[in-house]
Chain A
């Protein structure tokens, strides 16, 4: 994992937090739970990228980061399906 990859992943984590904050604001204004789910998912995604930056590629923790990513996408799927049913 190069320095460039570390920098880009860190920037992506920051971007993800920003998106999460936007969705949190939308939830605060509308009380639509889809926005809350999106906010949580983007916060979890940022955790994924931060874990990838923090953990060296050879360790088990590195693969655990992808499990965190899976949790985020499952959250999103549940939120989107829930919204489509309402």
Chain B
């Protein structure tokens, strides 16, 4: 059950990242680029979560995941502050 949730998190976040990247390519809106970067980072975080908790459960990757998530959220905040009107 938990593994299914982790996998679904990774898949849905990848789908979000892909849709946002597609929207950015169509509109060239910079905020969409920042959002895309954020969601690519969150997707990588979710993939790393699957690796951390399923593939290598004896190695703690929580700090790496946390730093990846923080970087992603920082990206969207930079975009919102810098490139929104």
* Interface residue total, chain B, C-beta cutoff 8 A: 29
What residues on B are CB-neighbors of A18 within 8 Å?
Answer: 77, 80
Cα of A22 to Cα of B15 in the assembled complex, Å = 23
**B29 in the interface, Cβ–Cβ < 8 Å?**
no
- A15 B70 Cβ-Cβ under 8 A: yes
- B16 A76 Cβ-Cβ under 8 A: yes
Q: In the complex, how many angstroms separate the beta carbon of A54 from the nearest chain B beta carbon?
A: 15
Q: Who on chain A is nearest to B72 by CB?
A: A12
What residues on B are CB-neighbors of A80 within 8 Å?
Answer: 16, 19-20, 23
Cα of A5 to Cα of B39 in the assembled complex, Å = 20
* Interface residue total, chain A, C-beta cutoff 8 A: 29
Cα of A9 to Cα of B71 in the assembled complex, Å = 11
**B51 in the interface, Cβ–Cβ < 8 Å?**
no
- A63 B66 Cβ-Cβ under 8 A: no
- B9 A84 Cβ-Cβ under 8 A: no
- A67 B69 Cβ-Cβ under 8 A: no
Cα of A80 to Cα of B13 in the assembled complex, Å = 12
Cα of A11 to Cα of B74 in the assembled complex, Å = 10
Q: In the complex, how many angstroms separate the beta carbon of B17 from the nearest chain A beta carbon?
A: 10
Residue of A4, A80, A84 with most chain B CB atoms under a 10 A cut-off = A80
Task: Give residues 57-72 of B contacting A (CB, 8 Å).
Answer: 60, 62-63, 66-67, 69-70
Contact of B16 among A8, A19, A49, A77 (CB under 8 A): A77
